[in-house]
């Protein structure tokens, strides 16, 4: 039978690990998405060296297990004089891992925008950077929201691997509580419910954000069409 008292006695301890999980994932995403954007643009660059380095980074982190990447960050960096706490190592490893996937998502979103948009921007005198910032990337946003959300949920689940380098996030805290209580069923039910609650909350928020983005985009398109029609009518 379930020992329900465990839920009440150890919930505060698990919530501390849960809060650390949230902080690690938020920091990793805050680093990973900008790095992913830089890598996506670098992979599309006409400069061979930049394109090669960006592609190599992406393929390296996409095609090796995350746990191996964590061990490399944790054990190799000290050899080069960079000694960081396990939490900081976890953030860096998770950000690097996520950035490779974010980069491919953003690159695919950019490629999904019709090439004529970029050509039109160039035709009116925009530089490639101005065209990317003002024309291409705004249209890319609604395309990449669903896969970015999926990758964010994946990072939350992958953060459990950081317990292997003694980061006291949710999974590590659950293991410690299980070792103290010898009640793995109750403990990991709580751990699973917390992961589910976090992922479901983020998924719900992002679905609403995606819907609002699509509505705003449609409203903008209708407004632009109306303005164009009025101008053409007045000219006649």
Q: Residue with structure tokens 């396990």?
A: 86
Looking at every residue in the chain, the average pLDDT score rounds to 90
Q: Note the pLDDT of residue 99.
A: 97
- The pTM of the full predicted model, rounded to 2 decimals, is 0.87
Check whether 220 has a pLDDT greater than 80. Answer: no
Distance CA 39, CA 42 (A): 5
Q: Note the pLDDT of residue 229.
A: 36
Q: Note the pLDDT of residue 232.
A: 41
Distance CA 98, CA 170 (A): 19
The domain segmentation of the chain, as residue ranges, is: 5-224
pLDDT, average across residues 72-79: 93
Give pLDDT tens digits for 126-163: 888 888 888 888 888 889 999 999 999 999 999 999 99
Q: Which CATH architecture has domain 5-224?
A: Orthogonal Bundle (1.10)
């Amino acid at each position: 039978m379930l020992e329900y008292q465990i839920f009440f006695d150890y919930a505060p301890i698990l919530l501390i690990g849960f809060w650390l999980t949230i902080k690690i994932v938020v920091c990793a995403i805050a680093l990973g998405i900008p790095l992913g954007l830089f890598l996506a643009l670098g992979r599309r660059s006409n400069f061979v060296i930049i394109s090669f380095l960006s592609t190599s980074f992406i393929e390296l982190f996409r095609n090796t297990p995350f746990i191996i990447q964590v061990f490399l960050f944790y054990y190799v960096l000290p050899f080069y004089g960079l000694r960081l706490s396990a939490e900081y190592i976890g953030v860096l490893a998770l950000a690097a891992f996520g950035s490779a996937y974010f980069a491919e998502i953003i690159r695919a979103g950019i490629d999904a925008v019709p090439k004529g948009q970029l050509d039109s921007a160039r035709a009116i005198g925009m530089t490639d950077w101005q065209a990317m910032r003002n024309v291409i990337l705004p249209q890319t946003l609604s395309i990449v929201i669903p896969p970015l959300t999926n990758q964010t949920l994946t990072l939350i689940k992958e953060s459990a691997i950081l317990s292997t380098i003694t980061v006291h996030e949710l999974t590590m805290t659950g293991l410690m509580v299980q070792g103290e209580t010898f009640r793995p069923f109750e403990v990991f039910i709580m751990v699973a419910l917390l992961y589910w609650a976090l992922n479901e909350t983020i998924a719900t928020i992002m679905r609403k954000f995606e819907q609002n983005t699509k509505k705003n985009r449609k409203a903008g398109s209708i407004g632009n069409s109306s303005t164009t029609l009025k101008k053409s009518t007045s000219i006649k």
